[in-house]
Structure 1
Amino acid sequence: MLVEIIHCRGHENVRATHRSTLEITTEDFLTPRGDCIICVSADKALKDLREEFKEALKRGAKLKIVIRAGDVEDEVTAYGSPDLKLESPISMVIRKSDYIDGRTLAIRANKSARDLKRELVELLQNPETEVTVELIIDEEKA
């Protein structure tokens, strides 16, 4: 099993209403237009992921994303692709579609920002909220 853990924070402008993506950013600011961003000040972007993790994603591995704030968590499932670039120094985007660019972590997700539990989104709207995002690839199941 390959695991990457990202620590980030909530922000008062988190809306989590985007229909097809969700995003984690290393930036510490968020405008109300960033409706796919679920947390800011992340301690990792795509370029920071371990090579073996990136290689598994490029083999099309199934990715489980667990987003946890306080005692509330939600889970998203998505997939890697041989076309992933995994190079952004700022963010990572999980997409419901098959679209890939330099910010894409995974595609064909079962949820976007607007599908997250609203109880979790409420916590993500507080700048004091510490958020943990676990990226898990179980290669035995891949």
Structure 2
Amino acid sequence: MERDVVITAQGHENVTAEHASTLEVTSDDFLTPAGDCILGVEADTVPADFDDDFVEACQSADATITATLVADGHRAVVEGSGHPDLSFENERSHVLRTSDYVDDRTVLVGADAAAGDIDRDLVAALADGADLTLTLSVEA
């Protein structure tokens, strides 16, 4: 079974994507220079919006979750795992983690890439304000 959630967001002039262990897309409408894990702001969907079937599939330790980021013709794919403790209760942010740490913002763990690993052309497009589409797909 594969399920998708599509989130649209905006790039921002302060997108640097330098963080080594996380990647974030937030519904906040601002980004400070300290937010070096954030690739997009003004997300139209937050984890608390996800349907129960998607959440349940992601809560399987055997689930593979793929995050595909697309902006201005550039594409990056990050793959990680589900976790039984994923709650998807946050009403602001989606966080992809290379670690196995879980909080209410976490949408996948064990990611094979973080913000600092994302293609620099994609990052530059987001820093120029490009539209971002983040698609989360789960196979359980």
Distance 1:46 1:79 in 2: 16
Distance 1:123 1:50 in 2: 30
2:3 counterpart residue number = 2
Percent of residue pairs identical: 40
RMSD between superposed Cα atoms in Å: 0.8
Question: SS of 1:54's equivalent?
Answer: helix
- Which blocks of at least 5 consecutive residues in structure 1 are unaligned? none
TM-score, reference length from structure 1: 0.94
Question: SS of 2:124's equivalent?
Answer: helix
Which one of the candidate residues 89, 96, 101 is aligned to 1:99? Answer: 101
Deviation track 1:64-108 (CA, whole Å, cap 9, x = no partner) reads 111000111010001110011211000010000011111111100
The alpha-carbon deviation at position 138 of structure 1 amounts to 2.8
- Is 2:72 aligned against 1:76? no
The alpha-carbon deviation at position 126 of structure 1 amounts to 1.6
Q: How many residues align?
A: 138
TM-score, reference length from structure 2: 0.96
Which one of the candidate residues 63, 66, 87 is aligned to 1:64? Answer: 66
- How do residues 1-142 of structure 1 correspond to structure 2 at under 5 angstroms? 1-60=2-61, 61-127=63-129, 129-139=130-140
Distance 1:39 1:135 in 2: 15
